[in-house]
Amino acid sequence: MTTFSEDIYSEPSNIDVDTLRNLGPLSGLAGIWKGTRGLDVKPKAEGPKKQAYVERFELQPIDPQTNGPQLFYGLRYHQHVVKPDQVKTYHDQVGYWLWEPGTGTVIQTLTIPRAQVAMAVGKATPDAKSFELVASRGPETYGICSTPFLEYAFKTVEYRIKVSINADGTWSYDEDTVLMIRGKSDPFHHTDRNVLTKIGEPTPNPLARK
């Protein structure tokens, strides 16, 4: 368990303001990416349905963030997914990827416009090429929060994402959102995976541009 000091206000000094140099295991994610080999397995009334998808994934560095003694380096992201050759949004997601060097912690906050939020956490070394984060429903820290309808019909009990930074400069994710669907006793694995290829470099964070 993490123990915190009584001093909750003092902030770290001598912070390196260049986020791109301090992202640890998230370093390989900064930039603008496209993925053309996405595969979604989603819940339908008749059962699981597979769907190919393409996406644009933008992750831009933010200024270092402190909470009292805590220090996070991070990326603000927007993931936009469509079916191949379509314009209509199939999935949209925004949030932050955060790295806390002091504890080797990686956090993903995610928000989707079904009115649902989650915060997943995992541990990694600064040079890790793969790591896994998990959010589960129930706890007061990290976790998953949904609307009453989603709680009633598609209770989201767990979300996990595995990220791999690949030797060819791409990165990939493999995620599993576990839903308890009304009327079904077995959990439903709503899974998504893709490989992302870089199409644009990140813009340095505001303080690093000064």
5 to 34, contacts with ligand HEM by CB under 6 A? none
Residue 177's Cβ-count burial label (10 Å; 0-12, 13-18, 19+) is: buried
- List the x/- string, 50-89, binding to ligand HEM by CB under 6 A: ---x---------------------------x--------
Dihedral angle at the C-alpha atoms of 189, 152, 118, 131, nearest 10 degrees? -20
Report the nearest approach of ligand HEM to the CB of residue 144 (Å).
7
Determine the Cα–Cα distance for residues 40 and 175; give it in Å rounded to an integer.
10
25 in Cβ contact with 124 (< 8 Å): yes
Identified binder of ligand HEM from the candidate list 27, 65, 82, 90, rule CB under 6 A:
90
105 to 164, contacts with ligand HEM by CB under 6 A? 110, 112, 114, 116, 118, 150, 154, 156, 159
Which among 54, 19, 51 is positioned nearest to 35, based on CA atoms? Answer: 54
Catalog residues that contact ligand HEM under the rule CB under 6 A.
Answer: 40, 42-44, 53, 81, 90-91, 110, 112, 114, 116, 118, 150, 154, 156, 159, 177, 179, 190, 192
